[in-house]
Amino acid sequence: MLFRQLEYFVALARERHFARAAAACYVSQPALSEAIRKLEHELKVPLVRRGQKFEGLTPEGERLVLWARRILADRDALKQEVTALQTGLTGELRLGVIPAAASTVALLTDPLCAAHPLVRVQLETSLRSADIVERVRRFELDAGVIHPDREDTADLVVTPLYEEQQVLVAGTDLLPGQADTISWSDVVELPMCLLAQGMRGRQLIDDALATHGLTVTPRLETDSVVALLAHVGTGRWATIVPQTWIRALRPASTVTLQLRDPSLTAPVALVTSAGQPGSVLARTLLQTAREAGIDAALSGPPAAG
């Protein structure tokens, strides 16, 4: 059994298409197909259901691809460990981040890169918590920043980072003379733009409104917090976003209000594989998270408008 065969097998399971898998591995399609056939012959089980095109993995293939991913991850971790012992920490850290935490992840990645100049970070910031958890399990990500409270993380290491606080942001002309807080009944009277349904931030809002028997029909929905704040910056919209975004990117001529009864909070945590010894990059990131004091750094009040 060769690592190359496992790499081709994992690529095919990911791409679910022979030509795309071959392109991802920089080989010809016949070479990839033959390598996988040889792997099947050596293991004495069929791995791929074949027809005129790729039709999926066999039940045996679905189980064995998990082992293939783990073997390749352990090989990469071994290489990283040896390199770290010889020349210091190096390599690429693959980090998935929920959109809500895109404005705070620098508090984690910046000290990591400052302490280890040879480390590169590949950030993906448009993933949902469930996707991140699954990709960490499949060894496609080294770590992730997620909302952990509604996810099955039993087989992962979960390191709390901070408690996210949702706030309302609106143009000052929309709420003249408004106090520091706002009720949900007043929220639904505003011209709202919100995250799309199904996203965690939107679920929090809809659940809070439901406690008062209220619903909201935003005139604009998006998967981008930046797009929400850009609309609020015109002075004609209001939105609800994590307070950490206001620290990083607050539109001019806006007011920020705390939501009351209920307020909206959600935990944010770092997740890594629980396998030992695991990736030296993931272990270093975990240690950085424990030392960074992100919660303390974010605990003060937001900047004044």
- Alpha-carbon gap, residue 161 to 93, rounded angstroms: 18
CATH architecture assignment, domain 88-155+269-297: 3-Layer(aba) Sandwich (3.40)
pLDDT of residue 115 exceeding 60, the answer is yes
Concatenated DSSP letters of 67-83: HHHHHHHHHHHHHHHHH
Domain boundary assignment for the chain: 3-71, 88-155+269-297, 163-266
pLDDT (average), residues 117-144:
91
- Alpha-carbon gap, residue 117 to 208, rounded angstroms: 44
What pLDDT shows up at residue 86? 65
Plot region of 177 (φ>0 → left; ψ -120 to 50 → alpha; else → beta): left
Tell me the CATH number for domain 163-266.
3.40.190.290
- Alpha-carbon gap, residue 142 to 125, rounded angstroms: 14
Task: Choose which CATH entry (1.20.1510.10, 3.40.50.2300, 1.10.10.10, 3.40.50.150) describes domain 3-71.
Answer: 1.10.10.10
pLDDT of residue 186 exceeding 80, the answer is yes
pLDDT (average), residues 179-192:
90
Domain pair 3-71 / 88-155+269-297, same fold = no
What pLDDT shows up at residue 301? 52
**How confident is residue 176, by pLDDT bands cut at 50, 70 and 90?**
confident
Check if the beta carbon of residue 272 is closer than 8 Å to that of residue 157.
yes
Mean pLDDT (the chain) is 88
pLDDT of residue 121 exceeding 90, the answer is yes
